[in-house]
């Protein structure tokens, strides 16, 4: 098939590259000349393990094409994916302005029969609005159907999640569009015998995405609430969570206490689902509490630092990790962007190291005053306390004896519980984890 993607972020670029690797001709339309020219050269706007190699292989094969122009791509395409950003408005609602802008441009360039799919995370009813926009501007002889095909990618594991998904959700209100999308996904479904196909209507597909992310966010906040309570009653939170996770009805996945969730999906999707509920007269108290617990989890890390130091002003704080999770350069709503500004505001001198987000201190105004270290040991040098914010694998294998020798005082706040309490204390660290 010939396919077009609008958008070249995590979702658009990864999915486009995977479909190109399956033998399709795939166009990716962007709106920034510099980014498109860079993509043609294999210079990616995001970091994702294995993506650079996948993109370059398909660019060289002539299957993956990048352009600023709708004209060469849309008329030839059997399927067009909308995969642009839907960031939250100040009210928490999803900003759909770019979705509607590209829908109009798609409509103007349609030729023959095309299935237009929204892969972006959008509120229920958005696809119908997209269809109405296209209907107004399309050429008279052009035919189209709309559909919803939400993504469930994890940053850092996005290629594997696209090639071997737990489920492929296809929302279509007629058989012709559904059949076309089943055909497109057939190699993925057949290549991985464990992938499940979910065929449903458009509104249900839109809702599945929000419900999925909201549930995972709830699971994380539940883990953090149990961790906070465990600290107060003298229980070991990680042991509690590990034990309940052994119940097959619950499972261990996402049941880990830490510094809170962040990134491009959970924060905005929780806010958006709360807004959707409010608009429809339902007070989603559970999700509001999920949000509040997540904020408390972030603030608690700064609180642990202050408790160890007593006085934060003038103290040196080393930070390991800035991104919201390992194997990504994504800083969106990362807990570090809450914790570090708190410490800077109270007069601490903060020096951080992240393996990928090396320019984070320049990209986010709230991190003004943050100093970047050349490596983890440099971050620890002369530090009064060391704080783990991201569970990068390389941090798990650090020479902790060396860390201690470099620090002014051996104090550590492990916001991701990557070290063993007894071991760290046996080395002479005053060690504080989450829920321990």
**What are the pLDDT tens digits along the chain (436 aa)?**
999 999 999 899 999 999 999 999 999 999 999 999 999 998 999 899 999 999 999 999 999 999 999 999 999 999 999 999 999 898 889 999 999 999 999 999 999 999 999 999 999 999 999 999 999 999 999 999 999 999 999 989 999 999 999 999 999 999 999 999 999 999 999 876 788 999 999 999 999 999 999 999 999 999 999 999 999 999 999 999 999 999 999 999 889 999 999 988 899 999 999 999 999 999 999 999 999 999 999 999 999 999 999 999 999 999 999 999 999 999 999 999 999 999 999 999 999 999 999 888 888 999 999 999 999 999 999 999 999 999 999 999 999 999 999 999 999 999 999 999 999 999 999 999 999 8
Give pLDDT, residue 394.
95
CA distance 324 to 333: 7
Element (H, E) at 431: strand 430-432
Inside any domain, residue 217: no
CA distance 24 to 63: 7
Domain closes at, from 167, 200, 233:
200
* Cβ contacts of 59 within 8 Å, gap of 6 or more: 40, 42, 65, 66
Helix and strand element counts for the chain (H, E): 17, 14
Same-domain check for residues 187 and 241? no
Please state the pTM of the whole predicted model: 0.89
Same-domain check for residues 139 and 272? no
Same-domain check for residues 353 and 294? yes
265 is catalytic: yes
Same-domain check for residues 184 and 285? no
30 contacts 68 by C-beta, under 8 angstroms: yes
Within 10 Å of residue 404's Cβ, how many Cβ atoms? 17
CATH code (residue 149):
3.40.50.720
Same-domain check for residues 235 and 140? no
Same-domain check for residues 174 and 231? no
Inside any domain, residue 63: yes
Inside any domain, residue 212: no
Inside any domain, residue 120: yes
Inside any domain, residue 372: yes
CA distance 347 to 315: 8
Domain closes at, from 145, 168, 200:
200
CA distance 132 to 150: 20
The conformation of residue 22, written as its DSSP 8-state character, comes to T
CA distance 286 to 102: 35
Same-domain check for residues 361 and 305? yes
What's the full length of the chain, in residues? 436
Domain closes at, from 200, 235, 257:
200
The conformation of residue 189, written as its DSSP 8-state character, comes to H
Give pLDDT, residue 192.
67
Which pair of structure tokens corresponds to residue 389? Answer: 């914010």
Nearest alpha-carbon partner for 383 in 362, 401, 407: 407
Q: In the chain, what's the furthest Cα-to-Cα distance?
A: 76
Same-domain check for residues 129 and 51? yes
Same-domain check for residues 132 and 233? no
The total domain count for the chain is 2
Same-domain check for residues 93 and 234? no
Inside any domain, residue 355: yes
Inside any domain, residue 247: yes
Inside any domain, residue 52: yes
- Main-chain dihedrals φ then ψ at residue 286, nearest 5 degrees: -60, -50
Same-domain check for residues 175 and 232? no
Secondary structure in 3-state letters for 101-128: HHHHHHHHCCCCEEEEEECCCCCCCHHH
17 contacts 51 by C-beta, under 8 angstroms: yes
The residues that bridge with 147 in the sheet, in sequence order, are: 117, 172
Set 223, 265, 352, 418: catalytic member: 265
CA distance 310 to 411: 12
Same-domain check for residues 260 and 186? no
DSSP string covering 26-54: EEEE-S-HHHHHHHHTT--SS--TTHHHH
Which pair of structure tokens corresponds to residue 213? Answer: 């992310």
Structural domain that includes position 228: 224-432
Within 10 Å of residue 184's Cβ, how many Cβ atoms? 22
């Amino acid at each position: 098939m010939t396919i077009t993607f609008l958008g070249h972020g995590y979702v658009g670029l990864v999915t486009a590259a995977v479909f190109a690797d399956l033998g399709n001709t795939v166009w990716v339309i962007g709106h920034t000349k510099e980014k498109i020219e860079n993509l043609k050269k294999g210079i990616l706007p995001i970091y994702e393990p294995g993506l650079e190699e996948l993109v370059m292989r398909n660019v060289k094969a002539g299957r993956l094409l990048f352009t600023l122009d709708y004209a060469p791509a849309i008329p030839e395409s059997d399927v067009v994916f909308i995969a642009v950003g839907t960031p939250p408005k100040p009210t928490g609602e999803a900003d759909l302005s770019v979705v509607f802008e590209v829908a109009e441009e798609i409509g103007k360039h349609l030729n023959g029969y095309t299935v237009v799919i929204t892969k972006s995370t959008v509120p229920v009813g958005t696809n119908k609005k997209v269809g109405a926009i296209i209907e107004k501007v399309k050429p008279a002889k052009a035919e189209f159907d709309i559909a919803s095909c939400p993504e469930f990618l994890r940053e850092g594991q996005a290629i594997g999640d696209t090639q071997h998904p737990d489920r492929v959700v296809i929302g279509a209100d007629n058989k012709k569009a559904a059949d076309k999308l089943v055909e497109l996904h057939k190699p993925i479904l057949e290549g991985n015998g464990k992938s499940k196909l979910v065929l449903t209507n458009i509104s249900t597909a839109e809702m599945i995405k929000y419900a999925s992310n909201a549930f995972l966010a709830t699971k994380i906040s539940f883990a953090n609430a149990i961790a906070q309570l465990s600290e107060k009653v003298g229980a070991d939170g990680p042991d509690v969570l590990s034990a309940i996770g052994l119940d097959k009805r619950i499972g261990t996945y996402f049941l880990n206490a830490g510094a809170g969730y962040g990134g491009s999906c959970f924060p905005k999707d929780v806010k958006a689902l709360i807004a959707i509920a409010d608009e429809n007269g339902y007070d989603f108290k559970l999700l509001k509490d999920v949000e509040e617990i997540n904020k408390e989890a972030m603030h608690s890390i700064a609180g642990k630092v202050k408790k160890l130091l007593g006085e934060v002003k003038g103290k040196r704080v080393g930070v390991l990790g800035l991104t919201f999770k390992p194997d990504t350069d994504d800083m969106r709503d990362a807990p570090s962007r809450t914790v570090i500004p708190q410490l800077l505001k109270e007069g601490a001198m903060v020096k951080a190291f992240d393996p990928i987000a090396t320019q984070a201190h320049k990209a986010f105004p709230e991190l003004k005053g943050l100093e970047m270290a050349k490596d983890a040991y440099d971050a620890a040098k002369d530090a009064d306390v060391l704080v783990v914010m991201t569970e990068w694998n390389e941090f798990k294998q650090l020479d902790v004896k060396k860390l201690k020798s470099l620090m002014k005082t051996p104090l550590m706040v492990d916001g991701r519980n990557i070290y063993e309490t007894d071991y760290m204390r046996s080395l002479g660290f005053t060690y504080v984890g989450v829920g321990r």
